[in-house]
A and B are shown apart, each in its own frame.
Chain A
């Protein structure tokens, strides 16, 4: 049955479809609705557990611990809460716990503009926690895709044994669209990791070898362990090379936009070629390099001051032009004028 569904509802329903049995979070705009749905659902379904945590630190730790205990788990937050979750995110990679972190972005830094959408937590997904780790992150741009990608995120988490990040933004979270979620078919990867209470393993954030023995001064063991982790994560990421590409007619200019920005600039598809990365991290290096090679100019339009643009520059080895939509200002007319201005500079 077709229904009017919001982005937040689609994310929650997607998690249920993927088999999530535990949700914990702390109220924050714009994902408070997910908390509300989880609390209501937990009252109806005794198999589903909900905890309103005392802060995002606890929420993130509980998400990972409950995952180790054997349930598929997820949590949701926005930028400031995601900052508090960084500690647990690093730990989640170290103890190899499959779970999903949802970050619906709003304008930062700090409290910023709580009700205004942004796309400014891209660097936070890969570099917010200490040390080297290799997260996987997806970013939908519609309500239906929010549902699908939530399931994909759970699947990637089970395969990579790590916390996978699903990005959204304040706009998408509160966007209502008509979809039939029940008609969407999706494959679900079951839990394979052995739950707690079966053997004698140690799950620790301290450096350890493959067996879980603490090794705090053994570079060899650390390298082995980290390389294993990296290979596994990058291998799983390769299974999901998700992007959209609309080659325009005779266009010399490639626009790169993702999430809600890609929806806003969709009228520009007639004039320019448009590339929309869906897997935000690891960066779609090969795809970007291939596609960018046939264009003279690349313009990255995003809700931050050039975070993805710098990744595109790194991936393609070329200078790109930037249109930063800051402070929640995503207006097509303004974006169009900015593109003209950038092109005016080089012509």
Chain B
């Protein structure tokens, strides 16, 4: 059966929503709600901020404390909320005009200061709510009501701007490439720092029809022609690529962090338990026991992970098992595991017997 519990995160009593049939924003709202639900984020630990425009109305439909800011100011508001309340997960739901044009200055500087917030940008390349004016991301030559002979200026390349420094997290996806879209949402939510998901979305009524598309589905097919997915974590994205750009902090900082971790391990080793895989199975979070997983011969206590809270498994990862191979094939890196305390070592013999 399909899991529809994400609907608890939506204010269904306010439906039907304000958006046109065929609009991509509905898909953004739904998939973000699913992403939040999977991580166990709810009204007790999450706040959503939005700006103005069609996409700015998303905050009003989220069943969380929501802040609907003046035009373009969503990032500033989100950063301030995160500064005062580091315990809250802060996400921004807004559009390309709001974030890239009127909020352009805030985008640059929030990106520079790198607060731990996640931004979902519904990038439909148009100002939809006001009737279809050219926006900052409208491709050159596109006809809109304010560029009747085609847009004269080059669009803002968010993929270039938001990958210009490290650390950074920038993902581009579309509402059509649903699995990729979901991966990007999850990765962005889990990223510690400023993460930006640029979601290429459709505005059929106020952009698509003028461009000659008859249905939203035709626009989706157009996205499929224009973009292709690139695998793995990149350090930049070309204009026709969908994927994830993730850059770590500068090299010097990284080296420092590494020595710190090594030092920590030395100290920890004395108190480590020696567990066999059989023993590891007991620590699956049931009956108030901690949740342990094995990774590369070590045992980590991941009880604090929001992914595993109250559940024995998160997608393909099962508590109380050696997850070395799982994590190697997972879309996220091994650094996720290192966030958690190491509590023991795996008995290699036991593994061999198996």
Contact = CB atoms under 8 A, between A and B. Distances in A.
Given A61-B70, A201-B65, A196 B88 contact: yes
Nearest to B109: A54
Given A65-B81, A66-B84, A197 B60 contact: no
A68 interface: yes
B67 interface: yes
A22 B82 CA distance: 12
A196 B109 contact: no
Nearest to A51: B83
Interface string B240-276: 0000000000000000000000000000000000000
B43 interface: yes
Interface string B43-59: 11111010000000101
A87 B70 contact: yes
A65 to B, nearest CB: 4
Contact of A88 (B57, B65, B73, B105): B73
Interface residues of B, number: 35
Interface stretch (A108-116, A203-211, A255-263, A290-298): A203-211
Given A69-B80, A70-B85, A196 B67 contact: yes
B333 to A, nearest CB: 29
Main secondary structure of the interface of A (DSSP, over half): mixed
A88 B70 contact: yes
Interface residues of A, number: 40
A203 B76 contact: no
A58 B65 contact: no
Contacts of B45: 197
Contacts of A315: none
Interface string A42-56: 000000010101110
A22 B44 CA distance: 23
A65 B63 contact: no
B65 A22 contact: no
B345 interface: no
Contacts of B109: 53-54, 58
Contacts of A95: 67
B66 interface: yes
Interface of B: 11, 14, 43-47, 49, 57, 59-60, 63-70, 73, 76-81, 83-85, 87-88, 105-106, 108-109
9 smallest CB-CB distances across A and B, nearest first, come from A204-B68, A65-B77, A62-B80, A54-B109, A66-B80, A65-B80, A69-B81, A61-B73, A69-B84
Given A90-B70, A196-B65, 17 more contacts: A21-B84, A22-B80, A24-B80, A54-B105, A54-B106, A57-B76, A65-B49, A66-B81, A69-B88, A196-B88, A197-B43, A197-B85, A200-B11, A200-B65, A203-B65, A204-B59, A206-B68
Interface of A: 21-22, 24, 49, 51, 53-55, 57-58, 61-66, 68-71, 73, 87-88, 90-91, 95, 195-206, 213-214
